[in-house]
Amino acid sequence: MTKLGVNIDHVATLRQARYRGLQSGEPDPVEAALICETAGAHGITAHLREDRRHILDRDVRMLRERITTRLNLEMANTPEIVAIALDLKPEIICLVPERRQELTTEGGLDVRGSLSDIATTCGLMSEADIEVSLFIDPVPAQIEAAAESGCGFIEFHTGSFAEHFSDADQREAELTRLAEGFTLARQAGLTVNAGHGLNYENVAVLLNRIPDLHELNIGHSIISRAITSGLARAVEDMLALIRSA
């Protein structure tokens, strides 16, 4: 079965709306992560941004100490964050593009244009027994560059699929692009995850087309549903959709 990694960034977003500049406040993303694990999540994802807009250093260190599944640290490929990752030792990192002015990650990483730097980071992580995933669009040139970088995983940016989901023709085009990218990536020896914009309406459609995706990383939709149904139930509902697909 495809695994579910729950992204807890937006728990921290809510906390920072009231407690920005402080080292504690509610809701606590670490406690949220533990609830997600108890509900059956296979891993926890957190993005330590350079501007610390939501997840803080304190959060990732406490996650490393307390969760019992798998910590996926999303991060920019910068010296500061690379050093933190090497010290923290999450099970896996996911390198993502990062712009200060964006509300959320807006597209995939340009691996081909930054191949040397990314390969260097992949080598450092490999020496520390940390797996590496690259967050990319399902574009052949980027998939091929990822295979050259030394990473073992990629995560397809599914934002365009999610954005065009209500348009049948565009949805089909995006599904085809993702499925063809999946085949190319598997042929290159990469394990394929997916994430961004996935929700309770579109996740089964994606999995029915690409049932062998290794893991889905989903955050905003689960945290949004948690407001009305509770976090454990929101995770359980998503897991049920993944199983049924």
Give the CATH number of the domain where residue 223 resides.
3.20.20.70
186 is a domain residue = yes
Please check whether residue 61 lies inside any domain of the structure: no
Neighbours of 65 (CB within 10 A): 8
Q: Which residues are catalytic?
A: 47, 74, 196
Residue 8 covered by a domain: no
Closest to 154 (Cα-Cα) out of 203, 66, 80, 92: 92
66 located within any domain: no
pLDDT single digits (tens) 187-225:
999 999 999 999 999 999 999 999 999 999 999 999 999
**Which tokens go with 202?**
């579109």
Parallel, antiparallel, or unpaired for β 43-47 and 131-136?
unpaired
Domain containing 82 equals 74-244
The answer to the question of residue 206 being in a domain is yes
Q: Judge if the upstream peptide bond of residue 138 is cis by omega within 30 degrees of 0.
A: no
Q: Does residue 58 belong to any structural domain of this protein?
A: no
Question: Is 50 within the bounds of a domain?
Answer: no
Q: Is residue 3 part of a domain?
A: no
| Number of folded domains that form the chain | 1
Q: What is the pLDDT of residues 133-164, one digit of tens each?
A: 999 999 999 999 999 999 999 999 999 999 99
